[in-house]
C-alpha cells in the first residue's frame, strides 16, 4: 500500500498480516479521494475501524489537520503507530485500541468533532447503520460531515433516519456509500 497524493505521495505503508484486515484497494482509495478531494483540507478525521490507518493517513497527507485512528487488533494498532511514525504524523494523530463504541465515546469526551469519518467494519458484521447513529448521538459530527462507509456491494447499508445518502459507488465486490447527517431543524 502507498499514499497516493499530498505531502507524503508515493510513500509505502505497512498493513497487518493475515485475513483479519482487508485493506482498501488502491483503485478504490484513488476513486474515493477523487470524490472527496475538496472536503479534506482543514478537517479532523475519524478512521474508526482503521486496520492499517490507510484512509486516515491519506487524508492527513492531503491536508486534514488531525486524525483519530481506532482498531481493536493489537497488530493493527502496532502497524498504525508505525505508519504514523514513518510519515511523521505523530503530532496530528491520536490512536485508540478500543471497541468502536468505546472509541466514539472517548472521542466525544475528548471534545473531538469530525468533518470526515471513515467506516470499514467487517463486511458481514452489520455495524454500519448502528455506527452512524452512534456517531450522531455522541455529538462528534461537524455540520456537513461526510461519513464514508466501505461495504460489500451485495450488502448495502440502509440510510438511517437523520442521514442522507450522498453517493454510492461499486468497485467489484466492494462498494462505498457516502452519507451526510441531515441538518437539525
What mean pLDDT is reported for the chain?
Answer: 93
26-181, what's its fold?
Rossmann fold (3.40.50)
Rounded Cα–Cα distance for residues 89 and 7 (Å):
11
Mean pLDDT of 133-159: 94
Rounded Cα–Cα distance for residues 136 and 46 (Å):
13
- Residue 18: pLDDT band (50, 70, 90) is low
Report pLDDT for 48: 97
Report pLDDT for 21: 55
Mean pLDDT of 68-72: 97
Q: For 94-141, write each residue's pLDDT tens digit.
A: 999 999 999 999 999 999 999 999 999 988 888 999 999 999 999 999
Q: Which residue has the cell 472509541?
A: 103
Report pLDDT for 70: 98
Mean pLDDT of 74-95: 97
Report pLDDT for 183: 80
Rounded Cα–Cα distance for residues 41 and 23 (Å):
23
- Domain assignments of the chain as residue spans, ordered by start: 26-181
* pTM of this structure: 0.94
Asked whether residue 185 carries a pLDDT value surpassing 70, the answer given is no
Burial-class residue 14 by CB neighbours within 10 Å (0-12, 13-18, 19+): middle
Q: Are 10 and 152 in contact (CB under 8 A)?
A: no
Asked whether residue 68 carries a pLDDT value surpassing 90, the answer given is yes
**What 3 state SS string does the chain have?**
CECCCCCCCCCECCCCCCCCCCCCCHHHHHHHHHHHHHHCCCCEEEECCCCCCHHHHHHHHCCCCEEEEECCCHHHHHHHHHHHHHHCCHHHEEEECCCHHHHHHHHHHCCCCEEEEEECCCHHHCCHHHHHHHHHHHCCEEEEEEEEEEEECCCCCCCCCCEEEEEEEEECCEEEEEEEECCCC
Q: For 43-65, write each residue's pLDDT tens digit.
A: 999 999 999 999 999 999 999 99
Mean pLDDT of 170-179: 93
Rg (CA), the chain: 15
84-98, 114-128, 148-162: range with highest mean pLDDT: 84-98
Q: Are 33 and 2 in contact (CB under 8 A)?
A: no
Asked whether residue 184 carries a pLDDT value surpassing 80, the answer given is no
Amino acid at each position: 500500500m502507498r499514499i497516493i497524493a499530498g505531502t507524503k505521495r508515493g510513500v509505502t505503508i505497512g498493513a497487518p498480516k493475515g485475513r483479519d484486515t482487508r485493506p482498501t484497494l488502491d483503485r478504490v482509495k484513488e476513486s474515493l479521494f477523487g470524490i472527496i478531494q475538496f472536503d479534506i483540507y482543514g478537517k479532523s478525521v475519524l478512521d474508526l475501524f482503521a486496520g492499517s490507518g490507510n484512509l486516515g493517513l491519506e487524508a492527513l497527507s492531503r491536508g486534514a489537520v488531525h486524525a483519530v485512528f481506532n482498531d481493536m487488533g493489537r497488530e493493527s494498532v502496532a502497524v498504525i503507530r508505525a505508519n504514523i511514525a514513518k510519515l511523521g504524523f505523530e503530532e496530528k494523530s491520536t490512536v485508540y485500541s478500543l471497541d468502536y463504541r468505546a472509541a466514539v465515546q472517548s472521542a466525544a469526551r475528548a471534545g473531538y468533532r469530525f468533518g470526515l469519518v471513515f467506516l470499514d467494519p467487517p463486511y458481514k458484521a452489520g455495524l454500519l447503520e448502528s455506527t452512524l447513529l452512534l456517531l450522531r448521538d455522541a455529538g462528534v459530527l461537524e455540520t456537513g460531515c461526510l461519513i464514508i462507509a466501505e461495504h460489500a456491494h451485495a450488502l448495502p447499508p440502509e440510510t438511517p433516519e437523520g442521514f442522507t445518502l450522498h453517493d454510492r459507488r461499486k468497485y467489484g465486490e466492494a462498494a462505498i456509500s457516502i452519507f451526510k447527517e441531515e441538518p437539525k431543524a
